Amino acid sequence: MRYERSRTDAGDAFVLEVDELELQAGEAIGIVGPSGCGKSTLVDLLALLRRPASVGRFRLLDEDLASLWKRNALDACTLLRAVHIGVVLQTGGLLPSLSARENILLPQRLQGRLDLDWLDTLLRMLDLKGLDRRLPAQLSIGQRQRVAVARALAHRPALVLADEPTASLGVEHAPAALDLLLRLAADSGAAVLVVSHDIPLLESRRVPMRRCAWQGGAVRLEAAT
């Protein structure tokens, strides 16, 4: 997969190339690298939020995503993202006018099905019981991030993409938050890709890592070792 965009008015191009990346159900992988190297762009590509300039083989479950992009099937991409992909943003990305509970339930409502037992499990595991009726502004940063994790998992997606999910939590709370994300995703059978600057944290959780690095004028996702 190759992604290109103009970075400046002078026409300098940013190029991200991914030769190979494979995740199995229940598997986790970390993406590391310096700021500005395209880690968040990779998340957007995998979340079907950015169009690749070129793509060879790109599949999610039984869906041929490369074919969808080539056919400009944007509605199909949107539907697949809603059903099969969960995203945790560094800033949480919660809707401020909805309670924590309604934020979490939003992916289920978009699919027209509610699983309140799974919601109860997420609230309990993420220590959000009694907080779910509050608005995001009434929650701490850590609580909001746990709500974001619950929302990403609410519809039992096949793939969870977490972009710096612990960056706003500090060293005291980051390990527990990552543990919960990995455990809940594994319990639901989801594959997890975590973008992080915190290499020691990923190492301590034995999460295998791939590095984004500049090579020959482009950013490449280095091969697995």
Listing DSSP states for 125-186 in one string gives: HTT-TTTTTS-GGGS-HHHHHHHHHHHHHTT--SEEEEESTTTTTHHHHHHHHHHHHHHHHH
Reply yes or no on whether the pLDDT at 214 is more than 70.
yes
Please give the mean pLDDT across all residues of the chain. 89
Specify if 215 maps to a domain: no
Flag whether 3 is in a domain: no
Q: Which two tokens stand for residue 127?
A: 């220590």
Would you say residue 225 lies in a domain? no
Is there a domain that residue 59 lies in? no
Which position has the higher pLDDT, 215 or 201?
A: 201
**Total of domains in the chain:** 1
Q: Which of 15-19, 46-50, 105-109 has the lowest mean pLDDT?
A: 15-19
Asked whether the whole model's pTM tops 0.95, one would answer no
Strand runs labelled E in 69-117: 85-88
Q: What is the dihedral of CA 28, 29, 35, 38, to 10 degrees?
A: -100
Residue 222 belongs to a domain: no
Tens digits of residue pLDDT in 125-162: 889 999 999 999 999 988 999 999 999 999 999 999 99
CATH code at position 85: 3.40.50.300
Give every CB contact of residue 98 below 8 A, 6+ residues apart in sequence. 106, 135, 136
Residue with tokens 């924590």: 100
Query: Does 224 map to a domain?
Result: no
Q: Which domain holds residue 90?
A: 24-51+64-207
Residue 223 lies in a domain: no
Task: Tell me, yes or no, whether 84 lies in a domain.
Answer: yes
Structure tokens at 41: 């762009």
